[in-house]
Structure 1
Amino acid sequence: MCEPLTLDGVRAAVAELLYQEPSAVDDGADLLAEGLDSVRILSLVERWRQNGAQVSFLELAERPTVAAWWLLLSARLPGDDRG
């Protein structure tokens, strides 16, 4: 079973791919400028889809910040009734 998605979990996943501590990741920083590449974004898409959040590579690439990703992911979690 997959762990539920949380903001801290999203930050930790990004930090792992950037070889940083989660506390070093700025939620508003442009992750592409920080060194996150398309292959790593694709790995995050797959990870989060396995957790039930239906997101696409393009959606993440258009807004490459932890804060924007969390807004998108949290709205798409299973059991969310917002649409």
Structure 2
Amino acid sequence: MALTLEQIRTDVAVALGEDAADIPFDENLVDYGLDSVRIMALLVRWRRDHDITADFADLAEQPAIEAWASKLGVA
């Protein structure tokens, strides 16, 4: 199953203990409390479940769901 924009948002929301609807696609996720440990945990999960080749630096550079979509191969 391919990773989707909604799945990214849901996974981020779960990592933050928030409702997915409260996580904007274009906001800096660090401002919402997403730290490097959580980014790494998400990345490990996505690599395992979705054959993602992005690395931590790709996600840390622009920590927003929309920015991550292209780096994670989401169409």
Is the TM value for this pair above 0.5?
Answer: yes
Aligned residue pairs total 74
Instruction: Tell me how large the CA RMSD over aligned residues is.
Output: 1.5
- Report % sequence identity: 37
Unpaired runs of 5+ residues, structure 1, are 76-83
What is the TM-score when the length of structure 2 is the normalising length? Answer: 0.90
Query: Comparing both structures, which one devotes a greater share of its residues to helix?
Result: 2
CA offsets, 1:17-58, max 9 Å, x none? 111111111011101111001110000110111110101111
What is the TM-score when the length of structure 1 is the normalising length? Answer: 0.82
Using CA pairs below 8 Å that are at least 6 residues apart, which structure has the higher relative contact order? 2
Separation in structure 2 between the aligned mates of residue 4 and residue 73 of structure 1, nearest angstrom: 10
Which segments of structure 1 move beyond 6 Å, counting only runs of 4 or more? none
Within 5 Å, give how 1:1-80 maps onto structure 2: 3-50=1-48, 51-74=50-73
Q: Which structure's CA Rg is the greater one?
A: 1
